[in-house]
């Protein structure tokens, strides 16, 4: 298996630092714009730190006037203009920094979504067997948005706060070391408070993201299963189940936000002690006539106290934001670190031209896990151009066999050969190109009927019309406004039988050398089945085809019928031969017509 691009595993408690480190590593590609943003952030911080010194000089000029002397208006105006320039430049630097970080965060979100989209195409199907679609969808939408919003706020906030703390401490000690010491009494209290709150809130943030994924899964299931829900009058039970999930999400969200929300008011409450300490100490120093301590010094320090507690509060807020980012990034990088399909970029195409369609199964063994072996030992050889029917009861391994043939899953042991070449030596994309598929589950996307039929191929109008004629869908298309250009939004307005005919036309456009038909006529009426059967006979002529069928009447003309039971071929031969043997196939066939 190709090593994953990102290291990832299931999240465990206490992985806050690990997840943030992964996020920082991912953001390394944006290092230059981030550095530019940080430079502007530092510039804004420096301006904020120097502004109180100008304010101190401004207050001292005013204080002289309070003593009875004339106020020097020229000096007052000069300090006022300098102070305004400082704050204007501070605002500009803050705006530029915020703009750059917003751009970076959105580009990062786009990159994460692109990586997830590409990863989805690289993970094996077994991943989707064990994970709900809603969970994966939540990682693409909610988790990525949470990361983007968090990084947009947290990075500049943390850098600005750290720079502010260091700068303010230096400025305070330079201005008056006694007052600076009186401010530092709040630091241990804030640090202890921060650690305690984070300890209790981080698990709730992680639980919030998990519950949000579960809720998305419920929404996806309820939306796609509305027909079944209404048919069985299950609206009440479904609504109750959704309500329970929604209640759990509400609880985890409330606890995470409530616990983290304590930080800001608690920090503000503690900072009031610093204000009181500064006022008391400054009053004592001024009353004693301490050199260098004036009313301007006191006013500057009151600003410094605000500047000092503000970054501490911002760090607390950033910690709150980073907790959400850590929980979301853990889920995203866990998915990006999932095991991937083998890298086959170095494999050369083996069967580029002249595919005969000879297929051989050699002692194939497969199980979804070690404790669940579906096919213990399967062997069969199919000649070129044969129509092979695979029949058997539910769970016999029919669809699994086709999935192995298409390399959707890899065999545990044994081998499958096409024209004498092991499919292990053929690039997976080439194997897919060798087969056209019509599945029991129809699938249509938003677009015109033409786009749904042509899909990923290039086809002329004549080829499209020929495929529609062969599939028996021409009359239906002619009744739609716009014909082939009729726009389909969801496919819900098209009957199941018509969808099946469209997917059959899609397979005809594919024009692959081999075919796989998995219950291709299961959703149509008897008359339409006859039309499709005739079209299928024309489509399969000269092509090796594998037909999975429960309606045994549709495979009477098969060249070979493989009868599967418990993962093994128990009988094989033509229809008449198998009936004459009066074995398992005969019992299956007769059971379908027991009432006639």
User: Sorting pLDDT into bands at 50, 70 and 90, what band is 489?
Assistant: confident
Q: What is this structure's pTM?
A: 0.65
17 burial level (CB within 10 Å; 0-12, 13-18, 19+): exposed
> Residue 92's pLDDT is what?
93
Co-location of 364 and 446 in the same domain: yes
> Residue 69's pLDDT is what?
65
> Residue 495's pLDDT is what?
76
Give me the chain's average pLDDT, please.
Answer: 79
379 domain-assigned: yes
Structure confidence by residue, pLDDT tens digits, 177-192? 778 787 777 777 777 7
Co-location of 419 and 314 in the same domain: no
Structure confidence by residue, pLDDT tens digits, 452-463? 888 877 788 888
Co-location of 291 and 420 in the same domain: no
Q: What percent of the chain has pLDDT over 90?
A: 1
Among candidates 588, 565, 566, which has minimal Cα distance to 575? 588
User: Sorting pLDDT into bands at 50, 70 and 90, what band is 589?
Assistant: confident
352 domain-assigned: no
Give me the mean pLDDT over the 90-109 stretch.
88
Q: How far apart are the first and last CA of the chain?
A: 54
- Domain CATH number, residue 146: 1.20.1560.10
Please, are residues 374 and 540 in contact by the beta-carbon 8 Å criterion?
no
User: Sorting pLDDT into bands at 50, 70 and 90, what band is 350?
Assistant: low
> Residue 288's pLDDT is what?
74
Co-location of 20 and 146 in the same domain: yes
- Domain CATH number, residue 520: 3.40.50.300
- DSSP of 457-471: S---HHHHHHHHHHH
343 domain-assigned: no
Co-location of 300 and 373 in the same domain: no
> Residue 292's pLDDT is what?
64
> Residue 2's pLDDT is what?
41
271 domain-assigned: yes
Please, are residues 284 and 247 in contact by the beta-carbon 8 Å criterion?
no
Q: Nearest 5°: phi and psi at 477? A: -65, -35
Q: What percent of the chain has pLDDT over 70?
A: 89
Co-location of 395 and 301 in the same domain: no
Please, are residues 205 and 256 in contact by the beta-carbon 8 Å criterion?
yes
pLDDT at 331 over 50: yes
Co-location of 287 and 422 in the same domain: no
> Residue 4's pLDDT is what?
40
Residue ending a domain, choose from 303, 336, 369: 336
Co-location of 318 and 401 in the same domain: no
Structure confidence by residue, pLDDT tens digits, 279-300? 888 778 777 766 667 777 777 7
User: Sorting pLDDT into bands at 50, 70 and 90, what band is 447?
Assistant: confident
| Angle (CA) 200 204 209, round 5° | 155
pLDDT at 201 over 80: no
Co-location of 411 and 484 in the same domain: yes
Structure confidence by residue, pLDDT tens digits, 502-552? 888 888 888 788 888 877 665 566 676 676 677 677 677 778 888 887 777
Structure confidence by residue, pLDDT tens digits, 461-488? 888 888 888 777 888 888 888 888 888 8
Co-location of 434 and 538 in the same domain: yes
Give me the mean pLDDT over the 77-93 stretch.
87
Structure confidence by residue, pLDDT tens digits, 16-63? 778 888 888 888 888 898 889 888 888 888 888 777 777 777 777 777
349 domain-assigned: no
Judged by phi (left if over 0) then psi (alpha if -120 to 50, else beta), residue 538 lies in alpha
Q: Which of 96-110, 146-160, 197-211 has the highest mean pLDDT?
A: 96-110
Give me the mean pLDDT over the 202-206 stretch.
75
User: Sorting pLDDT into bands at 50, 70 and 90, what band is 490?
Assistant: low
488 domain-assigned: yes
3 domain-assigned: no
Number of domains in the chain: 2
User: Sorting pLDDT into bands at 50, 70 and 90, what band is 225?
Assistant: confident
Co-location of 208 and 314 in the same domain: yes
Question: 158 vs 250, which has greater pLDDT?
Answer: 250
Residue ending a domain, choose from 281, 304, 336: 336
Buried b or exposed e, range 276-312, using 16+ CB within 10 angstroms = ebbbebbeebeeeeeeebbebbbbbbbbbbebbbbbb
Quote the CA–CA distance of 80 and 57 in Å, as a whole number: 10
pLDDT at 419 over 60: yes
Question: 71 vs 12, which has greater pLDDT?
Answer: 71
User: Sorting pLDDT into bands at 50, 70 and 90, what band is 67?
Assistant: low
Residue ending a domain, choose from 286, 302, 336: 336
53 domain-assigned: yes
> Residue 8's pLDDT is what?
37
Co-location of 314 and 363 in the same domain: no
- Residue span of the structural domain in which 569 resides: 359-592
């Amino acid at each position: 298996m190709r090593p994953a691009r990102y290291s990832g595993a299931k999240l465990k408690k206490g992985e806050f630092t690990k997840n943030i480190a992964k996020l920082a590593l991912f953001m390394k590609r944006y290092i230059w714009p981030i550095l530019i943003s940080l430079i502007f952030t530092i510039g804004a911080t420096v301006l904020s730190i120097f502004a109180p010194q100008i304010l101190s000089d401004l207050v001292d000029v005013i204080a002289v006037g309070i003593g009875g002397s004339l106020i020097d208006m020229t000096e007052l105006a000069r300090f006022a203009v300098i102070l305004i320039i400082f704050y204007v430049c501070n605002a500009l630097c803050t705006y530029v920094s915020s703009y750059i970080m917003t751009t970076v965060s959105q580009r990062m979100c786009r990159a994460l979504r692109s990586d997830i989209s590409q990863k989805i195409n690289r993970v094996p199907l077994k991943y989707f067997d064990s994970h709900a679609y809603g969970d994966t969808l939540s990682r693409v939408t909610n988790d990525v948005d949470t990361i983007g919003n968090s990084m947009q706020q947290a990075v500049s906030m943390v850098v600005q706060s750290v720079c502010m703390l260091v700068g303010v401490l230096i400025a305070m000690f330079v201005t008056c070391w006694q007052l600076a010491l009186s401010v530092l009494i709040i630091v241990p209290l804030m640090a202890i408070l921060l650690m305690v709150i984070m300890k209790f809130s981080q698990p709730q943030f992680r639980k919030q993201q998990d519950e949000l994924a579960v809720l998305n899964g419920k929404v996806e299931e309820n939306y796609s299963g509305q027909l079944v829900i209404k048919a069985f009058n299950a609206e009440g039970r479904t609504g109750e189940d959704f309500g329970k999930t929604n209640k759990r999400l509400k609880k985890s969200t409330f606890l995470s936000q409530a616990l983290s929300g304590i930080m800001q008011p608690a920090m503000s409450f503690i900072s009031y002690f610093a204000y009181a300490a500064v006022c008391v100490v400054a009053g004592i120093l001024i009353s004693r006539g301490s050199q260098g301590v004036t009313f301007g010094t006191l006013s500057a320090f009151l600003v410094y106290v605000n500047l000092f507690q503000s970054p501490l509060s911002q760090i607390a807020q950033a910690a709150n934001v980073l907790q959400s980012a850590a929980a979301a990034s853990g889920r995203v990088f866990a998915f990006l670190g999932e095991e991937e399909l083998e890298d086959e970029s170095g494999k050369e195409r083996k069967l580029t031209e002249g595919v005969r369609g000879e297929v051989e199964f050699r002692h194939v063994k497969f199980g979804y896990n070690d404790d669940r072996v579906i096919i213990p030992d399967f062997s069969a050889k199919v000649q070129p151009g044969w129509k092979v029917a695979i029949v058997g009861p539910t769970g016999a391994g029919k669809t699994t066999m086709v999935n192995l043939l298409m390399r959707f899953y890899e065999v545990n042991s044994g081998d499958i050969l096409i024209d004498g070449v092991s499919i292990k030596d053929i690039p997976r994309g080439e194997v897919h190109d060798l087969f056209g598929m019509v599945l029991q589950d129809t699938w249509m996307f938003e677009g015109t009927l033409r786009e749904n039929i042509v899909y990923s191929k290039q086809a002329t109008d004549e080829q499209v019309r020929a495929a529609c004629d062969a599939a028996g869908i021409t009359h239906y298309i002619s009744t739609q406004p716009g014909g082939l250009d009729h726009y389909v939004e969801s496919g819900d307005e098209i009957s199941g039988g018509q969808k099946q005919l469209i997917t059959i036309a899609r397979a005809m456009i594919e024009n692959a050398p081999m075919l796989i038909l998995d219950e291709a006529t299961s959703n149509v009426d008897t008359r339409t089945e006859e039309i499709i059967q005739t079209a299928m006979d024309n489509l399969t002529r000269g092509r090796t085809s594998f037909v999975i069928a429960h309606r045994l009447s549709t495979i009477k003309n098969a060249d070979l019928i493989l009868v599967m039971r418990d993962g093994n071929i128990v009988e094989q031969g033509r229809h008449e031969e198998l009936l004459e043997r009066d074995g398992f196939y005969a019992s299956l066939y007769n059971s379908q017509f027991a009432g006639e």
